[in-house]
Structure 1
Amino acid sequence: MKRAKLIRAAGLFLMAGMLSCESMVDNLNTDLNNPTDASANLILTGAQLGNISVQEGHLARVAAMWSGYFTGTDRQYKDIYSYNVTGASFNDVWKFTYQGVVEQTKLVIQKSEATNNRLVQGIAKVIQANALGTAAACFGDIPFSEASDITNFPNPAFEPQIQVYGKLQTLLDEAIADLESGLGTSPGAADIHFAGDATKWKDAAYTLKSRFYLETKEYALAATAAEKGISTAARSLVMTHGTTLNVNENLMYAFIARSRVGDINASLALAPTLLNPASATYRGNAKTDETARFNHHFITVSTTGVAIPVSPNTNSSATSRGLFGQSAPYPLVTFSENVLTSAEALARTTGFAAGLAKLNVYRAYLNTGGDLDATYKTGTFKYKYEPYTAEDFASGGILNKTGLTADQALLKEILMERYITFNGQIIGFNDLRRTRSEAVGVKLTPSAGAALPERMIYSEAEVNSNTSAPNPVPGVFVKTAVNAK
């Protein structure tokens, strides 16, 4: 993790056309090609965009292939789909995480502390926690306390994954305290997500806390945090996108539909078979019609009257914008995640009634169209999500045909709903690994061999340059600590 120059981050993001308007010509005698400093707000924007690269880029594509959402079909993605992966393929992910997010948010915090701007500090800490939480979930042990401080820690220590999760909770507690303080000036449009809205950032922080507690299997704490998390879809943390080529497009769209056409499709994926009403493994029932969601998530072709999924839906027309359309928003920390985390955590700790009540809250949301793009709420495609009752989960009920207990049947349905909802997101991969050894849940068939992947591979550049890196480097089939317990 070599120290990134500010010109690298600021210049990259300015070229991307995604920064707010901030004057760079206050002193005409300054060489604008070699800036030595930048405002906290400008750096904050860069850090937020760095986090988008972590959450929506290569890591998400790999997670999607290893979770039954996508199929790798050409070039290195065909190999990655079959679990043939090296650390070199994650060099950029590591760079985005530590140079693009951690280093930049540390600068933001440092600069904001000098002016007692706790609002901006809080925002920066939530972004940092999002990136480092994703890294810990995917890689296991990672640098945390010594990260991005090459002067004092040229070989930052890799801290145990479970310890990192604890420090993430502390970081988010600090962020919440900052956001509740009422101190500081809003970054305004420099905050590309919430324009400095402290309450929305606090909601996102609590939902992240619930995510991390779920990943460490501390389910009671996850339920408590979720109660304070994102309460409506309008308050979700997402990355909005546009239609300008190479500037503000959805990153999934840019890769699948434009820059690397043919590398990824959905031909062998599990998720479309669960959503397709024509499939033998369709998850719909008398109270559930997934037709609209199926068509929103996947592009299909008709063969002898049967809809066959061929690709994640990157349609981008005015009448049909798919889940991965050019201007489609990408979810980061959302209402959907929060309510489903609450449903699972309550089902595991409080009991059947509490879990079912939260699941029905989410189904009520789906019944209004949920996360469907507006072009799929026009009536062309049907959707229906009526509330479930206890009888539906009893032995012989519509959700329990195999003799499970009612509690098991409910948990299975919640986990299935999470799986479908998180199509194309890293947290779907996290869920599968967390619940793999349980009796119920989503069960994948390996795309190659007999074992399923348990982690991403450490960056080759990091392993070669940091003497503190794990030796030997754990392979893709070695469970991380939270999933081994």
Structure 2
Amino acid sequence: MKLKYLSILSGAVLLSVTSCKKELVDINVSPNGSQTAQPDYLLTAATKATADTYWGVANNLDASLLFVQYWAKIQYTDPDRYIYTNSAFQELWTVGYSKSIINLNEVIKIADAQSNTNYKGVALVLRAWTFSLLTDAFGNIPYTQAANIKQYVTPAYDSQKDVYFALLDDLKAAQTALNPSGKAIAGDIVYGNNIASWKKFANSLRLRIALRIADREPAKAKQVIADIQAEGGSFISSNNETAQFTYIDSPNQNPVSNLFDTRDDYRISKTIVDKLFTLNDPRLAVYAAKTQDATPQTYVGIPNGLLVGDASNLGFTKTSKPGTYFRAPHAPAVILSYAESLFDRAEAAARGFTTEDAGSLYEQAVTAALTQYSIGTADIAAYLAQPAVKYDASNYKKSIGEQKWIALFGQGLEGWTEWRRLDYPVLQPAVAGTLGGKIPVRFIYPGTEQSLNKTNYSAAVAAQGADVLTTKLWFDVN
């Protein structure tokens, strides 16, 4: 009898829960809100979210800018000494998947439903860029099952090789989808809805990723570049076509500007200041600010990875902050510049992937990098005439690597990746670094992956190597 009543009660509770669930679904529908996502809003949101984390504190200022010795820390120096927790790099992962990729996947879905191939093409390019940031930093990452939480709550990781190959396929598909004569789009805050510019960006990103795999898969890299040529495609061809996110006034100001409004713990690295001095590089006055107090050199960088006391003893007013250009509210977050596109073309030629003139493209790249900061033609000519700047065909990685490193100043993630790939410039580890004389060559996975996706996380570590800062990634050969 008790069992009978218990069964009736359980059934009543189940019906009640089901009923409540149905009622809650109805109650939580806003009568004033659209039930259909709008692709332009999703596109804007995904672009800004990615740019903010790409140019922001966790992945740029407190990590990659320090690793590649563009910036250094004058207080709170733990990051400059490579001391991190397993939550330090979570922002790139969380934003990349939950705000960027998931929104861009939705844009692609809507684009297919509306037969608007231009929305799809733009979303594929931005998604490829986001995935490339993730794999460049972490190595093996979820790709195939990514951002489909309804089907894959705990997504499996793909190998870095497979991710790069898939991104090249995605970008080829994007190139086909993008049609300047096709349907219009809105919400594009990179190129103002100019599809012709997106086609050039797509090809330039294909070239960048082709070179990522060039040391491992030269035949594939060469084929990608041949495909671009066969398609009659072109690359970013002027500084006006640089892919970048331009910020506006607070609260939508550049993340670097936002940080310097309340903090003063970053300085320019001595490594790059010394290099710019050696080359009489006119960008020194752009990259670095004058010291507040008069000093013999006017621009003073600090060594990376000092102990807190040693760093602060150098003096806040006697050391240089990064230049005002980079601390301005409207400073752009550069994604892929004209100069980088030329450097990449120069390298492709030097590797024998094309028949272009590597030396000429290299000089054009250096010129574009200087012109980007309004350096005059006479100063550019004098700079290029220096023996230390002239292109060395016998060691193209050194010539391109060193000048590309200078040109990518501010783009911490990209500068760090290119340093790992080309092995130039030669950098010395942090003074009081904690990695036994090594510089970080990857981010460690977020701690949440260990707790929430343990099986797939463990498989990725087993395949790739220990989840530490010194484990080299697949693309990083030497």
* TM-score band, normalised by shorter chain: 0.7 to 0.9
Give identity over the alignment, percent: 19
Q: Does 1:239 align with 2:245?
A: yes
Q: Secondary structure at the match of 2:244?
A: strand
CA RMSD of aligned residues (A): 2.7
The within-5 A match list for 1:143-154 is 143-154=142-153
Which residue of 445, 448, 462 corresponds with 1:461? 448
**How far, CA to CA, are the matches of 2:55 and 2:367 in structure 1?**
28
Given that residues 347 and 355 in structure 1 are in contact (C-alpha distance below 8 angstroms), is that contact kept between their aligned partners in structure 2? yes
User: How many positions carry a matched residue from both structures?
Assistant: 409
Q: Secondary structure at the match of 1:349?
A: coil
Seen in structure 2, the aligned counterparts of structure 1 residues 355 and 36 have a Cα distance that, compared at 3 Å, is same
Aligned to 2:363: 360
Note the residue ranges of structure 1 that are not aligned, 5 or more in a row.
1-28, 277-281, 285-289, 316-321
Aligned to 1:130: 129
Which residue of 399, 405, 426 corresponds with 1:443? 426
**How far, CA to CA, are the matches of 1:115 and 1:385 in structure 2?**
51
Of the structure 1 ranges 225-234 and 412-421, higher mean CA displacement relative to structure 2 is found in 225-234
| Structure 2 residue identity aligned to 1:132 | F
TM-score normalised to the size of structure 2?
Answer: 0.79
Deviation at 1:222, TM superposition (A): 7.0
The within-5 A match list for 1:65-464 is 65-75=66-76, 78-180=77-179, 182-187=181-186, 190-217=187-214, 218=218, 220=222, 225=228, 228-242=234-248, 244-245=249-250, 247-255=251-259, 257-259=260-262, 261-266=263-268, 268-276=269-277, 282-284=278-280, 290-291=281-282, 293-301=283-291, 302-304=294-296, 306-309=298-301, 310-315=319-324, 322-349=325-352, 354-365=357-368, 370-372=371-373, 383-386=379-382, 406-425=392-411, 426-436=413-423, 441-447=424-430, 448=433, 449-464=436-451
Seen in structure 2, the aligned counterparts of structure 1 residues 408 and 54 have a Cα distance that, compared at 3 Å, is farther
Seen in structure 2, the aligned counterparts of structure 1 residues 398 and 126 have a Cα distance that, compared at 3 Å, is closer
Deviation at 1:203, TM superposition (A): 0.6
Seen in structure 2, the aligned counterparts of structure 1 residues 238 and 254 have a Cα distance that, compared at 3 Å, is same
**How far, CA to CA, are the matches of 2:475 and 2:453 in structure 1?**
24
Deviation at 1:74, TM superposition (A): 2.9
Structure showing greater relative contact order (alpha-carbon pairs closer than 8 Å, 6 or more residues apart) = 2
**How far, CA to CA, are the matches of 1:203 and 1:470 in structure 2?**
39
Deviation at 1:427, TM superposition (A): 1.2
Seen in structure 2, the aligned counterparts of structure 1 residues 364 and 483 have a Cα distance that, compared at 3 Å, is closer
Seen in structure 2, the aligned counterparts of structure 1 residues 252 and 385 have a Cα distance that, compared at 3 Å, is farther
**How far, CA to CA, are the matches of 2:475 and 2:245 in structure 1?**
29
Given that residues 223 and 346 in structure 1 are in contact (C-alpha distance below 8 angstroms), is that contact kept between their aligned partners in structure 2? no
| Structure 2 residue identity aligned to 1:71 | A
Note the residue ranges of structure 2 that are not aligned, 5 or more in a row.
1-28, 302-318
Report Cα offsets for 1:259-284 as digits up to 9, x if no partner.
3x233212x441121112xxxxx124
**How far, CA to CA, are the matches of 2:258 and 2:320 in structure 1?**
14
**How far, CA to CA, are the matches of 1:205 and 1:59 in structure 2?**
24
Seen in structure 2, the aligned counterparts of structure 1 residues 145 and 182 have a Cα distance that, compared at 3 Å, is farther
Of the structure 1 ranges 214-223 and 89-98, higher mean CA displacement relative to structure 2 is found in 214-223
| Structure 1 residue identity aligned to 2:59 | L
Q: Secondary structure at the match of 1:453?
A: coil
Given that residues 222 and 341 in structure 1 are in contact (C-alpha distance below 8 angstroms), is that contact kept between their aligned partners in structure 2? no
Aligned to 2:20: none
Report Cα offsets for 1:203-256 as digits up to 9, x if no partner.
1111111111111124645765597210111111111122x22x221112222x
**How far, CA to CA, are the matches of 1:269 and 1:342 in structure 2?**
30
Seen in structure 2, the aligned counterparts of structure 1 residues 250 and 307 have a Cα distance that, compared at 3 Å, is same
Deviation at 1:456, TM superposition (A): 0.7
Deviation at 1:31, TM superposition (A): 5.0
**How far, CA to CA, are the matches of 2:328 and 2:322 in structure 1?**
7
Report Cα offsets for 1:77-134 as digits up to 9, x if no partner.
x212111112201222211100111100111111111110101011111110111011
Deviation at 1:182, TM superposition (A): 4.1
- Which structure has the larger Rg over C-alpha atoms? 2
Given that residues 397 and 422 in structure 2 are in contact (C-alpha distance below 8 angstroms), is that contact kept between their aligned partners in structure 1? no
Given that residues 223 and 341 in structure 1 are in contact (C-alpha distance below 8 angstroms), is that contact kept between their aligned partners in structure 2? no
Deviation at 1:325, TM superposition (A): 2.1
Aligned to 1:25: none
| Structure 1 residue identity aligned to 2:295 | T
**How far, CA to CA, are the matches of 1:351 and 1:305 in structure 2?**
44
Q: Secondary structure at the match of 1:332?
A: strand
| Structure whose residues are more often helix by fraction | 2
**How far, CA to CA, are the matches of 2:395 and 2:477 in structure 1?**
24
